[in-house]
């Protein structure tokens, strides 16, 4: 979900890039917040954002969506708490605490977030 083929697998030898129509990565089990109508069951503080654009955006564009929910706004937060996977068109956000995570989810359900006019799913 959130990723469309074709995918590319990089190789160390010729042809260096191998196209495939199925992802070669494990999609972790998840609970879509849209389907749950905003009910937050989990105590985890990690959110997966899907539906990122195929290109023309920066790591900081994703960070702007969640920045207000972090107490420490520094490089450590930017690069260790916000993991963007552009080839998978998804990002993982690791919040410092459950209340910050819940706040982001509830805000996002009321006002959906987007990057470059691509509406993201949580």
Q: Give dist(CA 20, CA 6) in Å, integer.
A: 6
Asked, for residue 114, whether it belongs to a domain, the answer is yes
Range of the domain at 80: 29-119
Instruction: Report pLDDT for 87.
Output: 82
Asked, for residue 58, whether it belongs to a domain, the answer is yes
Asked, for residue 45, whether it belongs to a domain, the answer is yes
Asked, for residue 79, whether it belongs to a domain, the answer is yes
Indicate left, alpha or beta for 92 from its phi (over 0: left) and psi (-120 to 50: alpha). beta
- The CATH number that applies at residue 65 is 3.30.70.330
Asked, for residue 9, whether it belongs to a domain, the answer is no
pLDDT tens-digit series, residues 40-72:
455 668 898 999 998 889 999 999 999 999 988
Task: Please give the tally of structural domains in the chain.
Answer: 1
pLDDT tens-digit series, residues 13-27:
777 777 776 665 665
pTM over the 0.75 mark: no
Asked, for residue 55, whether it belongs to a domain, the answer is yes
């Amino acid at each position: 979900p959130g990723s469309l083929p074709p995918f590319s697998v990089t190789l160390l030898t010729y042809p260096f890039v191998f196209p495939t129509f199925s992802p070669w990565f494990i999609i972790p089990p998840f609970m879509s917040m849209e389907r749950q109508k905003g009910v937050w069951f989990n105590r985890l503080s990690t959110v997966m954002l899907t539906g990122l654009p195929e290109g023309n955006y920066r790591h900081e564009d994703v960070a702007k969506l969640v920045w207000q929910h972090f107490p420490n706004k520094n490089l450590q937060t930017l690069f260790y708490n916000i993991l963007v996977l552009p080839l998978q068109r998804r990002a993982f956000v690791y919040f410092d605490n459950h209340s910050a995570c819940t706040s982001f989810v509830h805000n996002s359900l009321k006002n959906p977030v987007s990057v470059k006019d691509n509406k993201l799913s949580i």
